[in-house]
Amino acid sequence: MSDRKKVFDIAGFDPAILDVDQLKALSQAYLEQQTLDDADWKVDIAYQTQNSRILRLEPNDTERFPTLALKLAPSADIRHEYAVLSSIYDFGFHIGPRPFYVDEQVLIMEWVHGEPLQAPPPPDDEDKWHRMMAVMGVPNSLPFAEYASRIPMRGTAPHAPADLFHFIDEQLSQIDPNHETYSELAHLVERMKDQVAPQWNTLPPTTLNHFDPRLHHFIWEGYHMRLISWQNADWGDNAYAVGQLCAHPSYEEMPTSHWVWYRWELARLTKDELLIPRATTYTNLMLVYWAVRLTYMAASTSTPEVAARLTKQRDRYLKRAQRGFV
């Protein structure tokens, strides 16, 4: 996302003045490579995946309107993301884009200005890491009892190791048993289950988490860190969100010592000493997950160069996972 051109009062903006039908028509015309005369907005494609597209809408009247993001995605995903974003915003946290409108087809929200992270902050840049802790941890403050009806639980986030066992088993089942690495992976998964208790002795709190720590979701505005793409947010164990981050391929080059600091520092700041063993366990489980997942991804691609790259990455993850479950 581009650098901020001016400061717009997002909090004071009244979304009722948006002509939603016009915005949808402009976006559809853009996607169909048509031109609408006298358009009040400039439309560009910002991001596209297999299941979603995000358009950037820049207004001609920058005094009256903010720059918008219009997201086209499956209805269940955008409605869920709207519920999450509106709840966080109404609770008083402006860490994500302010949502303005949702229906069965589109989600319209504030465009978050700034630069997506291209690489993890250096380990000694504690300020940036603290800001990442903050934007990921802030949703934990929303009371489950009060917001569970507004943000229904999707069941995609672990509450205990047994839940992650299930996810790993699902990934392993997609790999051909004749694959050269299948037996090694199956034995690793078996050792993992032998060494990790399926349930926690003390039930952790159920908290709202982002659960998608890919680098480009963190937007640095120069003074503030913000977080976008909340469609995977769910209620679960916040220690899993930490373990997910610590083991994610986007951060593979970070030294293990950094993640030890990260878990201990977060536990210190949140005054939750039980976070450390849970997050460490989830980190080790996610290393197993990625060893299995990368094997499947390498076997599924038809591009030799991609397969070779994924296989090398799988080998690194497999070694790390095996060290955790000897």
Q: What is the pTM of this model?
A: 0.94
- Asked whether 97 and 85 are in contact (CB, 8 A), the reply is yes
AA letter at 138:
V
- Asked if the 126-324 domain carries CATH number 3.90.1200.10, the reply is yes
Q: Give the residue extent of every domain in the chain.
A: 15-113, 126-324
Strand residues in 139-215 grouped as ranges (E): 207-209
Per-residue pLDDT of the chain (326 residues; tens, 9 = 90+): 444 456 789 999 999 999 999 999 999 999 998 876 668 999 999 999 888 999 999 999 999 999 999 999 999 999 999 999 999 999 999 999 999 999 999 999 999 999 999 999 999 999 999 999 999 999 999 999 999 999 999 998 999 999 999 999 999 999 999 999 999 999 999 999 999 999 999 999 999 999 999 999 999 988 899 999 999 999 999 999 999 999 999 999 999 999 999 999 999 999 999 999 999 999 999 999 999 999 999 999 999 999 999 999 999 999 999 999 98
Please state, as a whole number, how many other Cβ atoms lie within 10 Å of the Cβ of residue 269.
13
Task: Using the structure block, give the residue that is written with the tokens 């494609």.
Answer: 45
Q: Which CATH superfamily is domain 15-113 in?
A: Phosphorylase Kinase; domain 1 (3.30.200.20)
Beta strands 225-227 and 218-220: pairing type?
Answer: antiparallel
- Per-residue CA distances from 325 to 78, 177, 183, 189, 288 (Å): 39, 22, 15, 9, 9
- Per-residue CA distances from 159 to 7, 195, 231, 294 (Å): 40, 18, 19, 24
